[in-house]
Chain A
């Protein structure tokens, strides 16, 4: 059974900091890994998708990397802003898509 862990569970930082969110998984036989953002009381918004053959993907201030052999992905957020405050979830697609419990991020002005 795939287990997905996200560290840290919560993070509070001042505006402007560069951030690294971590996602680890136990079974390296994956199809892809997808990062989402969830605002309180809302649905999930897709940020980045990395296929198993890829090493990283970038979108604006976001960069996600994947090391399948070690079972790790990181989401790098550059120059954080208060609008980045949300919960960030990773989903690992192996036999079934499995989610981590998320990192709750607060960026204060």
Chain B
């Protein structure tokens, strides 16, 4: 969907490297979310943001860092990648200004850590 762009679509990196996954929305909606999806665990929230410069931890934040200097962008950084961070990462946007707004997802980034 053109509204949310995740990049890259696929990434292979080595253990210990820093990796940044990008998420960009063409709207200016307030809420943005990062999830990881793994077999056996489903979708788990890593971090979310209610507005520029406001971020908060989700269920599994350890090993990840986020920032949101602009409303449209919400990058997720793995400071020192580990094999356990091999996963599919999804960015989601709340389509509206309130927390009640429906979630809309990007196409995901498949990350492999070797």
What is A's interface to B at a CB cutoff of 8 Å? 31-32, 34, 36, 42-46, 49, 51, 89, 91, 93, 96-102
Contact = CB atoms under 8 A, between A and B. Distances in A.
Contacts, number: 51
For the complex, would chain A's binding face be called helix, strand, loop or mixed by DSSP majority? strand
Interface of B: 1, 33, 35, 41-45, 48, 58-59, 90, 92, 99-100, 102-108
For the complex, would chain B's binding face be called helix, strand, loop or mixed by DSSP majority? strand
Given A31-B99, A43-B105, A46-B104, A101 B42 contact: yes
Contacts of B59: 96, 98
Given A44-B103, A46-B102, A46-B105, 19 more contacts: A31-B100, A36-B105, A42-B107, A43-B106, A44-B90, A44-B92, A45-B105, A46-B103, A46-B104, A91-B43, A93-B100, A93-B103, A96-B48, A96-B59, A97-B103, A98-B45, A98-B59, A99-B43, A99-B44
A100 B41 CA distance: 9
Nearest to B95: A46
